[in-house]
């Protein structure tokens, strides 16, 4: 089962400010078994199987607010949260004399978990020949 979906909402207020929201979700699952038998005339037979499994979940949400202060300046602010969780396992089993033996050098398993939360603020001001942009961002 693989699912990827987004939700986008935005609105503009009477004062010209704008608020937007985006939510994202992914659920990715990959499971595969592979059996291989190789028979070469000049080389010994080779037989192995691999099992590959991966489960990934991604959640992300962000909100942005933009406020025009006047014709030459504006203030923007926002925040974002994301979570990525992956469990992966690839196992190679060589078949030697009819017995499966795990090949540790060609196998790998790992779990990965990432959480990010960040906020930002921007102030911009324009003059005839110059632009000023002040930016602040904090992530954890």
3-state secondary structure of 34: strand
Looking at the DSSP bridge assignments, the partners of residue 77 are 65, 121
pLDDT value of position 51: 83
pLDDT value of position 78: 96
pLDDT in single tens digits along all 140 residues of the chain: 789 999 999 999 999 999 999 999 999 998 888 777 777 767 666 777 888 889 999 999 999 999 999 999 999 999 999 999 999 988 888 887 778 888 888 888 889 999 999 999 999 999 989 998 988 888 87
Q: Which three-class secondary structure string do you get for 17-33?
A: CEEEEEEEEEEEEEEEE
pLDDT value of position 106: 81
């Amino acid at each position: 089962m693989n699912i990827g979906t987004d939700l986008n909402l935005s609105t503009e207020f009477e004062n010209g400010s704008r608020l937007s929201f985006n939510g994202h979700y992914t659920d990715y699952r990959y499971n595969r078994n592979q059996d291989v038998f190789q028979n070469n005339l000049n080389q010994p037979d080779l037989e192995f199987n691999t099992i590959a499994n991966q489960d990934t979940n991604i959640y992300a949400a962000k909100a942005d607010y933009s406020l025009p202060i006047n014709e030459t300046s504006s203030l923007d602010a926002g925040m974002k949260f994301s979570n990525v969780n992956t469990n992966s396992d690839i196992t190679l089993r060589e078949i030697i004399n009819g017995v499966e033996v795990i090949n540790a050098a060609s196998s790998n398993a790992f779990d990965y978990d990432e959480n990010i939360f960040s906020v930002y603020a921007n102030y911009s001001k324009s003059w005839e020949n110059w632009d000023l942009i002040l930016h602040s961002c904090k992530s954890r």
